Amino acid sequence: MDSSFGFEDESVAPQKKEPVTEAAESEKEIKCPKCGKMVNVNRVVKRKYICYECGGYFRVKVPNRINMVADPGTFQTWFEKTDIENPLGFEGYEDKLIDAKKKTGLDEAITIGKCKVFGEEIVLGICDSRFMMASMGHVVGEKIAKGIEMATEMRLPVFIFCCSGGARMQEGIVSLMQMAKTSAAIKKHSDAGLFFCPILTDPTTGGVTASFAMLGDVIMAEPGALIGFAGPRVIRQTIGQDLPKGFQTAEFLVEHGIIDGIVKRENLKKTIYFLVRAHSCKEGSYSEFGRIIKHTKPSEIAKEREHFAKLKSAWDKVKTVRSVDRPSALDYMEHIFDFFVEAHGDRSFRDDPAIVGGIGFIGGQAVTVIADHKGRSMAECKERNYGMPMPEGYRKALRLMKQADKFNRPIISFVNTPGAFPGIEAEERGMGESIARNLLEMSALKVPVLCIMIGEGGSGGALATAVGNEVWMLENSTYSILSPEGFASILWKDAKRAEEASEVMKITAGDLKELGIIEQIVPEYGGANDMTKKDIAKTMKELICDFLEKYEGFSREKIYKERYDRFRNF
């Protein structure tokens, strides 16, 4: 494997050209750009170009990136041997391009082509910072646009490792136009129902950040990567702002809801494979990869538990679902899904921890999962705002649901919230609009949507992720117009009559099954707790598989009409 790292700063790269002995080669050192220590090249290479002293990521050359993710011998390069052009007649630009070509052995700042990842065919693009800091000129823009257009024709997913200083200054306004050109190509690819994933590496800035790098169905980044529109130096010099610690790092962007998550290099190849499989569902096929669950029909148990649900008082159930010890969605998901990968953020403001969302596999079938999460300790409850989502939480959920609709992936929503957060911040950020938008968009989804009340189903905050083809309830869960205390305060001007209100409101699973508001009651085997959560999850898993099987072969229009009719008939 080539041990040259291709830094822009020649002082940190090996300079000697004469042959060296094997022993000398094994002792060759290079300076880590993160911690500044001299480190052994061979050891760093074996760690996938990660410093063993500080964990910092070295920038990676194109051939080495291909080796990391592509099946051996499968990468086919497209669009080599482009002509050198100088659209603005900028003095010295041709010489700079010739020098960059000689220095790197590359045709331009991006290499794009087709390869396989664990046998799955993809289009792969890789930016290389050694070539004029991977700035985007017209050749880079053309290669990306043509590559995405070919991917659209071949119906292949696209992955691009982004790295750039931004637009190429020597090409001026021509460079700026590449932002629109690449974005237009991505739009056509997306409209064809195909998957695009940029993987942001250090650094990704300027016009690249403001175009193709931020337009993925899923956006990933390497740890510690610098990512932003205006770089830190530009911000300081232009407006003199003090920047917080960790500003514009990959971790900062996850926290602020801009990207989905961070992927370590050792997980790159399997993450790409997972994303390809998770976004390849076909219309009307909800068991494409073969189900591995053996169905054990729990109908008799369900009938027994439905009877039990009617015997317990509504107020008892209200107190039960409010307990911090009651299992959360994540507790059940651990046993329902073969594995689950979380996605983060609404792409505009923040990642709301009160709503968890991502992609899970159940019996080999990819599904999108949305879940309210209160927390499993008092400290976590505080961190997750006690399961009361902010507007950005609902916008994150909607982003993931619309992505599921694009890729024909069923949606499973676990609901457990006392309601949407009723504070100043929520109103400032448009709480009413965010809930209304979810109701509007969920009503028109053309994939099966299953919603399961696992604890509290509080008001519009619960309904915002509960517009399903079917809605189920765990036997001791509740679903109501608002809390019993709020109901009593409004109607009787006395919050102390909450227990009485809980009986009048008809909020239990048994009540709502009789009213036709829900389709199914899921047994809790005496009550949801650490002892029973695995059995409850097993039953839910079997029922979910039955739900998916029910919609096998349904057209998208039929799925949409069924959900419309369900709510139209209330």
Could you tell me the CATH number of the domain that includes residue 139? 3.90.226.10
Those residues whose C-beta lies under 8 Å from the C-beta of residue 537, and which sit 6 or more positions away, are 331, 332, 333, 334, 335, 336
| ∠ CA 218-220-221, rounded to 5° | 160
User: Which of 41, 58, 75 finishes a domain?
Assistant: 58
One domain, residues 5 and 108: no
- pTM of the full structure: 0.83
One domain, residues 50 and 63: no
> Which H or E run contains 228?
strand 227-228
| ∠ CA 358-205-179, rounded to 5° | 85
* Percent helix, strand and coil across the chain, each to the nearest 5: 45, 20, 40
> Which H or E run contains 477?
none
**Would you say residue 417 lies in a domain?**
yes
Instruction: Give the pairing of strands 411-417 and 365-372.
Output: parallel
**Which of 7, 34, 261 is closest to 128 using CA atoms?**
7
Residue with tokens 């999850």: 537
| ∠ CA 292-294-297, rounded to 5° | 145
Number of domains in the chain: 3
Take residue 456 and report the two structure tokens written for it: 């509290």
Which pLDDT belongs to residue 145?
Answer: 95
Task: State the Cα–Cα distance between residues 154 and 161, nearest whole angstrom.
Answer: 20
What type of residue sits at position 416? N
**Distance, CA of 27 to chain centre:** 41
Those residues whose C-beta lies under 8 Å from the C-beta of residue 531, and which sit 6 or more positions away, are none
One domain, residues 415 and 432: yes
- Determine phi and psi for 510, rounding to 5 degrees: -60, -45
Q: Which residues of the chain have pLDDT under 70?
A: 1-26, 284-311
One domain, residues 360 and 507: yes
User: Which of 248, 278, 308 finishes a domain?
Assistant: 278
Strand partners, 520: 472
One domain, residues 343 and 369: yes
Q: How far is CA 351 from CA 153, 392, 395, in A?
A: 35, 7, 10
One domain, residues 454 and 507: yes
The DSSP secondary-structure symbol of 78 reads E
Take residue 138 and report the two structure tokens written for it: 């017209």
Take residue 76 and report the two structure tokens written for it: 């086919």
Task: State the Cα–Cα distance between residues 124 and 69, nearest whole angstrom.
Answer: 9
Task: State the Cα–Cα distance between residues 381 and 197, nearest whole angstrom.
Answer: 33
Which pLDDT belongs to residue 296?
Answer: 40
Please return the burial class of 11, using the count of CB atoms within 10 Å of its CB with bins 0-12, 13-18 and 19+.
Answer: exposed
**Would you say residue 31 lies in a domain?**
yes
Which pLDDT belongs to residue 11?
Answer: 30
**Would you say residue 93 lies in a domain?**
yes
Task: State the Cα–Cα distance between residues 469 and 305, nearest whole angstrom.
Answer: 23
Question: Among positive and negative, which fits the CA dihedral 131, 133, 139, 142?
Answer: positive
Residues 196-255 pLDDT 10s: 999 999 999 999 999 999 999 999 999 999 999 987 777 887 788 888 888 999 999 999
Which pLDDT belongs to residue 4?
Answer: 26
One domain, residues 54 and 200: no
Q: How far is CA 362 from CA 304, 368, 520, 541, 550, in A?
A: 27, 11, 20, 8, 15
Instruction: Give the pairing of strands 120-127 and 110-117.
Output: antiparallel
**Would you say residue 203 lies in a domain?**
yes
Give the 3-state secondary structure of residue 149.
helix
Strand partners, 342: 358
- Residues spanned by the domain of 233: 59-278
One domain, residues 44 and 118: no
Which pLDDT belongs to residue 227?
Answer: 94
One domain, residues 31 and 141: no
**Would you say residue 359 lies in a domain?**
yes
**Would you say residue 289 lies in a domain?**
no
The DSSP secondary-structure symbol of 47 reads T
**Distance, CA of 165 to chain centre:** 25
Which pLDDT belongs to residue 91?
Answer: 95
One domain, residues 34 and 169: no
**Which of 261, 260, 267, 233 is closest to 247 using CA atoms?**
233
**Which of 417, 418, 416, 412 is closest to 400 using CA atoms?**
412
One domain, residues 265 and 399: no
**Would you say residue 287 lies in a domain?**
no
One domain, residues 96 and 134: yes
CA atoms within 13 A of residue 346's CA, in its CB half-sphere: 20
- E-state strands within 466-518: 470-474, 478-480
**Would you say residue 528 lies in a domain?**
yes
Helices 172-191, 138-154: inter-axial angle, 10-degree rounding: 10
**Distance, CA of 156 to chain centre:** 20
User: Which of 58, 77, 107 finishes a domain?
Assistant: 58
| ∠ CA 205-35-16, rounded to 5° | 90
- E-state strands within 300-428: 339-343, 355-362, 365-372, 411-417
